[in-house]
């Protein structure tokens, strides 16, 4: 069952509004879908490194301070594991592909030809 003329007109209007919405185009582009998770993973990796430095340096001061550094590494490791699971295998491939592409790749998404 095909769409009526009125339904097709409404659908075209919605498509035109979505094409001009830059925030939507950036959010649904491959780089936008996983950007938050990738940023969280980067901060968690930094936390693991900081926790390791705290653990090693604090062994000379007190073992409880060193244990806090170890707990920091553990929590950051769990955050990394959770975010990588959320990204998933397909997300990792999309994220790797978008990291290889230049930043203006989202402009290509907005300038796609119109459907007839």
Q: Which domain holds residue 91?
A: 34-99
The whole-number pLDDT of residue 91 equals: 67
Is 54 within a domain?
Answer: yes
Q: Whole-prediction pTM value? A: 0.55
3-state DSSP assignment of residue 4:
coil
- Does 17 map to a domain? no
Helix (H, G, I), strand (E, B) or coil at 109: helix
Of the spans 2-6, 23-27, 58-62, which averages the highest pLDDT? 58-62
In our burial notation (b when 16+ CB lie closer than 10 A, e otherwise), range 7-23 reads eeeeeeeeeeeeeeeee
Per-residue pLDDT at 27: 65
Q: What is the pLDDT of residue 80?
A: 93
Domain count, the chain: 1
Percent of the chain with pLDDT over 70: 67
Q: Which residue has the higher pLDDT, 79 or 35?
A: 79
Residue 22: which pLDDT band, with cuts at 50, 70 and 90? confident
Query: Would residue 20 count as lying in a domain?
Result: no
Is 40 contained in some domain? yes
Q: Is 112 a domain residue?
A: no
For residue range 54-98, what is the model confidence (pLDDT) as tens digits? 999 999 989 899 999 999 999 999 999 998 888 776 666 666 776
């Amino acid at each position: 069952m095909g769409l009526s003329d009125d339904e097709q007109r409404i659908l075209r209007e919605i498509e035109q509004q979505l094409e001009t919405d830059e925030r939507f185009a950036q959010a649904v582009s491959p780089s936008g879908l996983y950007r938050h998770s990738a940023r969280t993973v980067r901060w968690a990796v930094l936390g693991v490194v900081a926790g390791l430095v705290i653990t090693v340096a604090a062994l000379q001061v007190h073992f409880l301070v060193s244990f806090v550094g170890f707990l920091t590494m553990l929590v950051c490791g769990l955050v990394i594991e959770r975010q990588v699971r959320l990204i998933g295998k397909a997300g990792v491939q999309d994220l790797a592909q978008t990291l290889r592409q230049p930043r203006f790749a989202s402009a290509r998404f907005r300038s796609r030809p119109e459907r007839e």
